[in-house]
Each structure stands twice: as C-alpha cells, then as structure tokens.
Amino acid sequence: MDFTLSNLASVAEVIGAAAVIVSLVFVEFQLRETARATRTATASAASASMSAWYMATGCSEQTSALFLDFLQTPEELTSQQRFQAIMNLHAAIISFQNSYYLAKEGTLDSQILNTILESIVVTKDLPGWAIYWKERKPFFFTDFQEYVDSLMSLDRKVSEGIYNRTDSI
C-alpha cells in the first residue's frame, strides 16, 4: 500500500482526535478528584470551626456558665456579660451561615450542615436565643435568616436537659 501525504495526514488526524479524547477523559477525572478533595477539606474546616467554638466555650467554666446563664436567664446578666455572651454566640452563628452557603452551593454535604444547625433547634425556645436572634438577625443574609426562622418553627426538641441549669453538675 502506498502512503501518500494525504493518507498520512488522515492517520495523524485520527491519532490527534484520539489524543484529545484521552486528554479530556483525564481532565474529567482530575476535576472529579479535585472536587472530592475540596468537599473533604470543606467538611473538615466546617467541623473544625465548630469544634473549636465548642472547645473554647466548654473548656472555660466562666465562658460556659455565662453562655448557659445567657440562654436561660439573660435578664439576670449585666450589660457587659450579655454583650460577651451575644458575641460568643454570634461567632458560632457566623460559622453556621458559612456552612449554610457552602452546602447550598454543593461544596459541603447537606448532612453535615444539618448536624451543625441542630444547635439552633436545641436552643430555639430559650429566652437568650430569642434575644440574640432579635438583636443580631439583621447581620445575616436574608435567605439564611429565613432558613433559621424555619428551624425555629420546627415542632421538635433535641438534647433536652443539656441547657437546663442545675448547680449539682
């Protein structure tokens, strides 16, 4: 068989097309792996953020007592104590909002978001939460506000007792 320049060009085009297809398959694989790594890192960061907040609050007797007092009996706190408790809670809710948007865009698994936001469901009926949300709600994006409001309208209780103050603990 005689190979003409035209035949060689056709063979080169087929080889080039096959190389492009193989490259596209490889790029798709890389994109999937990158997306998986991003979701994993995001889940880890969201969990680490909340874990750090819980550790900071829970490992300090003064901070945890103030936080619990604020949730249960905010009217008994001084204005400085109330401010401190609100800022502490606000730090957590900012992290919640961040997780909400990461889940909304698909970067964070919605199950992780749901476990994080259960913290709102736990405290939604406490006087301190009502004060916090009334004062700080405007600091958040509208759709996050609506989402939190929907959580607050849920007719369920979780972790009953953890926020009930008993001096024998």
Domain membership flag for residue 22: no
Element (H, E) at 78: none
Domain membership flag for residue 116: yes
Domain membership flag for residue 160: no
Domain membership flag for residue 111: yes
Domain membership flag for residue 15: no
For position 164, what pLDDT does the model report? Answer: 63
For position 121, what pLDDT does the model report? Answer: 86
Domain membership flag for residue 90: yes
Q: Which domain holds residue 96?
A: 40-152
For position 169, what pLDDT does the model report? Answer: 44
For position 78, what pLDDT does the model report? Answer: 97
Are 138 and 106 in contact by the 8 Å Cβ rule? The answer is no
For position 168, what pLDDT does the model report? Answer: 43
**C-alpha distance from residue 169 to each of 37, 61, 64, 110, 165 (Å):** 42, 12, 13, 34, 8
Number of domains the chain is built from: 1
10-residue mean pLDDT series, the chain (169 residues): 77 88 86 76 77 87 94 96 96 91 85 82 91 96 94 75 56
Are 105 and 98 in contact by the 8 Å Cβ rule? The answer is no
The secondary structure of 92-123 as a DSSP string is HHHHHHHHHHHHHTTSS-HHHHHHHHHHHHHH
For position 80, what pLDDT does the model report? Answer: 97
For position 160, what pLDDT does the model report? Answer: 58
